Amino acid sequence: MILITGAAGHIGKRMSRRFLRDGIDFVGIDCVDNFELPEYRFAKLDIRDPALGDFIENNGVDSIIHLAFCTKLKMDPRKRDDIDLNGSRNIAECAVMKGVRNIVFASSGWVYGDRTRQGGLYDREGTYLHPADIYAENKVKAEEMFLKVADEHAINIAILRLAIVCWEGGGVGLGDMIRAASKSSRFFTLADKNPPIQLVHVDDMIDAGVTAIGKKGIFDITSEGTMTLVELFYEAAKLGGVKPSCIRLPEKPTVFMVAALWKLNLCPVPPLYIKMYGYDITRDVHKTLAVLGKPKYTIQQILKEIVRGGKS
């Protein structure tokens, strides 16, 4: 029996649908309702709740896919830490106490951050990380906490560092921006910044999550191949039948303006998202391919799914 945490989130809902369709034995939890799932497949339960241990035992859970993590852009840092870190700790402690053998933790490629800057840290595999915000910092802390559990107990821990997850019709963040560019033709870049980008289709992410059960280590989950940021937007516009129109913005003034508007609640996009337009967080996926297998979707196929799925 697999437990999915965050089963009402963007990825959790899609994973739950797949598991239902494919007849995979699972149960999901979230702090909000998921009315798509039958009652016997879902419980409204906070990952910080001590009752999680009894829930695991009563449902015969032997594997956990941990997706639950705070993604709200504006949130009290103490509450975020409580949910992300104490919630993850409760999952680990309940897993140990109830004899769960496998945990798959959905981390993020954003833990790499701006790797050209000093002041970061190295993970236990010797990879340099420079998390740029509290979300990425908490992902790193949770990774290390789970890996420590693996050291101290006979539990298989697989860390999945996800590339930008997209699906038919878009994807939170860049996926939706790509879809918008396919309709309006317009997109922007920061001065001369044009970093390589890796995407992953949500179906491949789900497949990786299932395949990683029983595995150990850190894996980068992405499609094979890369495209630059400009190439992605240009191709999206062409697929949408519009002429690409690139607006090049000066980096420092743009970040400053967005930061000021963000503080005044006049801009929905945080300044960090703008900075990340210049980051190269791509990774070599040979290790992942060897252990978890080849993804079904290429980056070009993902792009077509985003654009064509978004057409009315």
| Closest to 236 measured CA to CA, from 172, 176, 297 | 176
Share of the chain above pLDDT 70, in %: 98
Q: What is the mean pLDDT of residues 170-177?
A: 85
Q: What is the pLDDT of residues 114-173, one digit of tens each?
A: 888 889 999 999 999 999 888 999 999 999 999 999 999 989 999 999 999 999 988 888
Range scoring the smallest mean pLDDT among 165-179, 268-282, 285-299:
268-282
Report angle CA 26, 136, 69 to the nearest 5 degrees: 30
> What is the DSSP-derived secondary structure letter of residue 130?
B
CATH superfamily of 2-166+198-223+282-296: NAD(P)-binding Rossmann-like Domain (3.40.50.720)
Query: Does the structure show a pLDDT above 90 at 1?
Result: yes
pLDDT classification of 268: cutoffs 50, 70, 90: low
Q: What is the mean pLDDT of residues 209-230?
A: 94
Instruction: Say how many CA atoms lie within 13 Å of 128 toward its Cβ.
Output: 11
Range scoring the smallest mean pLDDT among 57-61, 93-97, 174-178, 266-270:
266-270
Query: CA-to-CA distance for 135 and 1, rounded, in angstroms?
Result: 29
Query: CA-to-CA distance for 60 and 3, rounded, in angstroms?
Result: 9
CB 122 within 8 A of CB 83: no
Report angle CA 80, 138, 19 to the nearest 5 degrees: 85
Query: CA-to-CA distance for 305 and 48, rounded, in angstroms?
Result: 36
Supply the pLDDT for residue 312. 34
Q: Look at 266 and 305; give whichever has higher pLDDT.
A: 305
Whole-prediction pTM value? 0.93
Q: What is the mean pLDDT of residues 288-296?
A: 94
Enumerate the domain spans of the chain: 2-166+198-223+282-296
Supply the pLDDT for residue 311. 46
Residue appearing with tokens 């690409």 = 244
Mean model confidence pLDDT for the chain? 91
